[in-house]
Structure 1
Amino acid sequence: MDRVSSLPNELLCHILSFLTTKEAALTSLLSKRWRNLLAFVPYLYIDDSVFLHPEEVRVDGWISNVLARGVLDLDLLIILDSEGDDHYLLPPKCFQSSTLVSLKLDGGIDIGWVAGSIFLPMLKTLTINSARIDNFEILLHALPALEELSLFDVISNDQGVNISSASLKTLTIYDIYCSSTLSFDTPSLIYFKYTGFVAKDYPVVNMKNLFDARIILLLHIQRAREPDEYHWFDQDVALRYSNVWKLFLGLQNVTNLYLSPGTLEVLSRCCESMPVFKNLKSLAIKSNKERGWQAMPVLLRNCPHLETLVIKGLLHHVTDKCGDACDCISREDKGRSLTSCPVKMLEIRGFRGTMKEMTMIKHFLVYFPCLKEMNIYVEENDPTELRVPEVSKCIMQMMEEYNKLSSCNVELL
């Protein structure tokens, strides 16, 4: 007996999903056992270049037919000919369904031109990758049940982007190409991840129920630190950075917050306007040697109820504005921002076993008044000083000494 044919239908259909639809269809000729399996394959992969008359293929008709049959989940990838148009124009009927719950569009589809004709009242999850959308407000207005929205490499016009939805709970953004403003009117939002360059302005940021946020801002390092006041481009960049506080003002109710190295650098441009994060319990920052900590003192002072601080990498770019949060530069008032911070748990990741890191750890132990526990995780992906036996022994001795001198429990993990 054929061992493959004896497998259950679910497993056979999973195997067929790795083939093109044409190849999967040919298996129906093998035997009666295979005749109807194609109808249960979860994916259709159609390459019109292998068709006898590819110019007669009607992708729009296939999609409309699927929607008419009451499909719940549609994952659509259209790969365009590199010599053809930049964006594929799907007709309005491809965006009309009373049953569709999840929709993923990938491959350069133009959605903006049909925004006013969309009818997807049950849609809860929408993922858009490499598409063009010029009418966000009209699009989201047609999706009253939408709860999760993911946007990757989306191009919009220069009139500004307004993401407005009363039902949206999860929003993920990776690079929206918009040279103008970016607004968020999402009062029910719980999770927000934003990766991209700074917008010109953030006129509206309504996220009053936000619980978890991850902000990863991209920037040109030198222009962030020393913009040329006589260069129009640098003036524009400086203006953008000075408006970032409006974005964070809308995030001030967040409970858990993650900031990338670039975000910390951008925040240094608007420290005077830093909002108070009155609900923030957990703050995680990532640091590297190219980015500074200029914003850290103000940030820590503006988190009156912070309990957990996670630092991924202690090394950072040292400037005369590092402030008192670190021990890089001798200051009379060093540690002042730490003494007002109520953090109880400090987690340090990417520890490499350098003396500079040990000095920073001692600084935290001395000036964090409420610190009860410090967990230090050794860097696992790259070589560290701890691989040298003498260094490892010295570090362990210092850790033991820190535990004796402080009421905080210090563990190297």
Structure 2
Amino acid sequence: MKSNISRRPPPQRRRTNGGDDRLSNLPDEILCHILSFLPTKNAVATSILSSRYLSLWSCIPVLDFHDQPHLHSPQKFVEFVDQVLAGNKSSSIDTFKLSFENCTDLEPISSVNRWIEAVIKRRVVKMELSVFANHVDTGLPLKLLPCESLQVLKVGGDNGAVIPVSANSFPNLRVLSVCLSDPDNKVTKNLFTRLPKLEELTVEACYGKGDECFGEFWFKFVAPDLKKLHFVLRVMDDSPYYDLDFKIVIDAPRLEYLCVEDDYYGDYWVKNKLLATEVKVHVGEKCELLCFGHTYASADRAFQLLSRVATAKSLSLSYETMRALMFAHRDNALPTLHFLTKLEVFVMDHRGWHLLSYLLECAPNLRCLVVINKGNSEERDLNQGFYWGKDGDSYLQGDFRWSIGTSPAFLLLRKNKNEIRRLEKKEELNKVDEFRVQCKMLTFAVSRCG
């Protein structure tokens, strides 16, 4: 990046009562680098320190704007950003960050689009936008333009952002994080398939905010170098679940991390062999299975997703996912998890333990098990469980509530045939349910107390 900072020597050393003024002895380039870590408002404020700082802020290639000091006056914030962009002398912008929580009029939205265009013309590398314009009904959305230099793009907030989906819009983009409200298939089918250098992707899509939300929606994630994918699918509480269907295609041969948070039960198609080492699955939180006419079909989608990530080394399953798998397991055999060494599951009271026993039978190389009790809605503070590590140590995390009036008093861990360790919880109730899980490497047992 070409610098506009003059390479003049530092001024003559100054002394203060406390000794050397080391900051003033630094070259301009280093001072500008230090100022780049400050919000732009604070960087500009340093101009009152001395005449030397009058022009330093204008050479900083990092711009970080927050409207917090101007929440009640968006116009003042717009004027401040305009002045800084006009006064900035850097030939290129490394980072442009904008947090605009009170973007509620036509003029501020138009200004944001103007700023985006300005930094794109100056070959911005990293752009983070958090713009909230949900109270505006102007037909003027947040608009992003194609940018060859952009490598990191993060778009948050409720702003109806319009992102170009044509080929070569972002040829060098490596990190993308977007929030989308009621996106159409044109965006979700094309945007995530035309980013050839993408390595990290976070997508949060929310459906049900518009007047009409029904039909089939597609998401296609096709990226040869993608290593990390975090997909969040939100469905509004009052959305017609029966009229929605989601198809998700994942084609990422180098994927290492996959996290799925799906309020619904999307249909996931994983192409090629998924080699992700860490997988987190949280599906069906907004869906009550027993209320569906297609209960087993919906649950079977969760089962199929598990089958398609069966090569993971670390796997986390939410309670809602466990619930769906319990339905699907009635007619399907769980896949063998040959590579699984760490398993984390969420249970609710006494439910989930039966399925857990089958999961452990399918994980012959398991070394670490974490069980977390989700608890009742009135007992969120008790959402804890127990942990077992490969070194044989075990301990309880909080309070198990397996069923009304019962909870475990003893946890016996048998690492080998002759070695048994016991952890006693004296405050637990006397009567407990038996739970025995056996697999190749470990044995858990909870005994009944007398």
Q: Under a length normalisation based on structure 2, what TM-score does the superposition of the two structures give?
A: 0.63
Which of 397, 401, 418 matches 1:350? Answer: 397
Q: Which of 339, 360, 366 is the aligned partner of 1:306? A: 366
How many angstroms does 1:408 deviate by?
9.0
- The reply to whether residue 72 of structure 1 matches residue 72 of structure 2 is no
Aligned amino acid, residue 342 of structure 2: S
Distance 1:170 1:375 in 2: 40
Which residue in the other structure is 2:65 paired with? Answer: 45
Q: What amino acid maps onto 2:65 in structure 1?
A: Y
Query: Counterpart in 1 of 2:150?
Result: 100
TM-superposed CA distance for 1:292, in Å, is 3.0
Cross-structure match for 1:282: 342
- Within 1, Cα distance between the matches of 2:361 and 2:443? 21
Query: What are the Cα deviations for residues 99-137 of structure 1, in whole angstroms up to 9, with x where unaligned?
Result: 221111112354566312652111111111245543233
Give the match for residue 321 of structure 1.
none
Task: Report how far residue 301 of structure 1 moved.
Answer: 1.7
- In structure 1, what is the Cα distance between the partners aligned to 2:142 and 2:168? 14
Distance change in 2, residues 1:248/1:290 (3 Å): same
Structure 1: distance between partners of 2:417 and 2:161? 52
| Alpha-carbon distance change, 219 to 59 in structure 1, aligned in 2, over 3 angstroms | closer
> Residues 137 and 164 of structure 1 are in contact (CA less than 8 Å); yes or no, is this contact kept in structure 2?
no
1:35 to 50, 54, 76: 54
**Is structure 2 residue 328 aligned with structure 1 residue 296?**
no
Change (3 A) 1:215 1:353: closer
Aligned length: 343
Alpha-carbon distance in structure 2 between the residues aligned to 1:371 and 1:68 = 71
Distance 1:100 1:113 in 2: 13
Structure 2 partner of 1:255: 313
Q: Structure 2: any 5+ residue segments left out of the alignment?
A: 1-15, 68-73, 83-105, 208-212, 236-243, 377-389, 431-441, 446-450
- Where structure 1 has 5 or more consecutive residues not aligned to the other structure, the ranges are 229-233, 317-342, 377-384, 396-406
| Identity over aligned pairs, percent | 19
Q: Measure the CA separation in 2 of the matches of 1:235 and 1:372.
A: 50
* Residue 139 (1) aligns with residue 191 (2): yes
Between Structure 1 and Structure 2, the one with more strand by share is 2
Contact 1:197 1:217 in 2 (8 A): yes
TM-score, normalization: structure 1? Answer: 0.68
Query: What code does the residue aligned with 1:350 have?
Result: Q
Query: Are 2:267 and 1:201 aligned?
Result: yes
Q: CA deviation at 1:349?
A: 4.7
> Does the C-alpha gap of structure 1 residues 85 and 4 become closer, same or farther in structure 2, counting only changes over 3 Å?
farther
For the Cα contact (< 8 Å) 1:205–1:246, is it kept in 2?
no
Q: How does 1:9-408 map to 2 (within 5 A)?
A: 9-17=32-40, 19=41, 25=44, 28=47, 31-38=50-57, 39-40=59-60, 42-45=62-65, 48-50=74-76, 51=78, 55=107, 58-80=111-133, 82-84=135-137, 88-91=141-144, 94-97=145-148, 99-110=149-160, 114-116=164-166, 119-131=169-181, 133-134=183-184, 135-155=187-207, 158-177=216-235, 179-204=245-270, 206-219=272-285, 223-224=288-289, 227=290, 234-271=292-329, 272-273=331-332, 274-289=334-349, 291-313=351-373, 347-352=394-399, 356-359=407-410, 361-362=411-412, 365=414, 391=427
> C-alpha displacement at 1:278, in angstroms?
1.7
Closer/same/farther in 2, CA of residues 371 and 58 from structure 1, 3 Å limit:
farther
Instruction: Tell me the distance in 2 between the aligned counterparts of 1:112 and 1:27.
Output: 36
AA aligned opposite 1:281: T
Give the C-alpha shift of residue 261 in structure 1. 2.0
Conservation of the 8 A alpha-carbon contact between 1:264 and 1:293: no
Structure 2: distance between partners of 1:196 and 1:86: 29
Hey, which of these two has a bigger chunk of helix by percent?
1
Q: Secondary structure at the match of 1:158?
A: strand
- The equivalent of 2:435 in structure 1 is none
Distance 2:276 2:418 in 1: 27
Q: Which amino acid aligns with 2:203?
A: L
Distance 1:315 1:375 in 2: 24
Shift of 1:164: 2.1
SS class of match (1:213): strand
Q: CA deviation at 1:145?
A: 0.4
Q: Specify the SS of the correspondent of 2:123.
A: coil
Q: CA deviation at 1:192?
A: 0.7
